[in-house]
Amino acid sequence: YLLWDNIDLANKYRSDIDELYQRTKDKLTGYLNGTDKPLNVPKLSNKTLSLKNGHQYDENGNPVILVGFNDFLAPDNFVKSANKLGLNMTQRGLYISKLIKYDAETDGYIPMGYDEPKRGTGYDYNISQTIEFLDECRKNNVKVNLMFEPMSVAYVPDTDFKDAGVTYYGYIGYNATHPRVKQQVDAAAKVFINIVKDYQDVVTGICFANEPFFLTNDKPYYDKYWTEYIKKNYPTPESLYATYSTYDYSEDKRPESDFSQPENVLYRDYRDFNENVLCEYFSYMSDALKREKQAQGVTADIPLSVKLMINVGEKIGNEPVDGRDRRRHGVNYEKIKRRI
């Protein structure tokens, strides 16, 4: 939180962290001197992990979800000592911008070279680094949840791919259902699955969205789609007026809603609309990856997933900790699950 320049949140959690530290220290001390007994939990091993029907199962046939820890900024050589530390699974991502590049001659996208762009650091890995990492994981019995990351995309010549003068919050920094997104996903999925194909014994899961968040209400690109949505739900001016009283769909207009009032009809319609946009975005990525798995002969039933986050801090005083609450603003977990 200090990195995000949020002093209030840092102070809020400081006492919690001190309390957790002391509790953990007391527990560990008790385990070591015999005054306390650790909980009996199942020991999961990637050696007995099986994949079936797009799910992971332990040795007793129980469904499990193992993704490991995200190795963002981890030392390059951590895999060699992972087993000694009790680790046998990790998560790493590949940006779309590291898989493909724009080709002006065809106005399309072609595979990125093995070693281009230049070798990155931290989370900015290219294909070469990722393959070296997967080789190292194979040698050291570490399984990988590999992320297909659309956070960073390749060059796009279209001006409406990203609206000027509006805010894009982190993960999805563009208009999520723009035709160029689909074009890039199709091209990148071919390269990504070509990598997975050679590491079916290492890759035990594919995550194609990491803590996604996207708002349509401030993006002019979605004005016409919002109007289409309103006309579909309120097919006559009378039905629309009976609900909104002051709304006119003769002109494209983005919703202007108070998100702190969920009883507001406009808010509920906007939220449903936003959920539909995100589900279309996720569904397309999921379908593209499934299509390539089949086309390239990936026989392992590797599950696809998205990683979603909610706020854990609740409130400071009467104010929400994070005004971008995923659920309030149109990230519907149940809808997404049905679409992927």
Contacts of 73 (CB under 8 A, 6+ apart): 122, 123
Kindly compute the dihedral angle of the four CA atoms of residues 150, 153, 158, 162, in this order, to the nearest 10 degrees: 60
pLDDT along the chain (340 residues), means of 10: 56 78 93 89 73 80 80 80 84 90 94 80 81 93 91 90 81 90 95 96 89 81 88 84 67 54 72 89 93 94 81 45 53 76
Per the listing, tokens 């590049």 go with 101
| Rounded distance between C-alpha atoms, residue 306 and residue 214, angstroms | 14
Give the pLDDT of residue 140: 92
| Rounded distance between C-alpha atoms, residue 58 and residue 39, angstroms | 19
Beta bridge partners of 244: none
Beta bridge partners of 147: 93, 207
Of residues 155, 151, 149, the one with CA closest to residue 110: 155
| Rounded distance between C-alpha atoms, residue 161 and residue 124, angstroms | 23
Radius of gyration of the chain (CA): 23
Q: What is the DSSP string of 88-116?
A: -EEEEEEEGGGTEEEETTTTEEEEPPTT-
Of residues 146, 171, 135, 175, the one with CA closest to residue 159: 175
Give the pLDDT of residue 332: 74
The helix/strand/coil state of 44 is coil
Give the pLDDT of residue 317: 42
Give the pLDDT of residue 2: 45
Q: How many residues does the chain have?
A: 340
How far are the Cα atoms of 83, 254, 319 from residue 80, in angstroms, in the given order?
A: 8, 53, 46
- Strand 69-70 with 89-95, pairing: parallel
Q: Is the peptide bond before 255 cis (omega within 30 degrees of 0)?
A: no
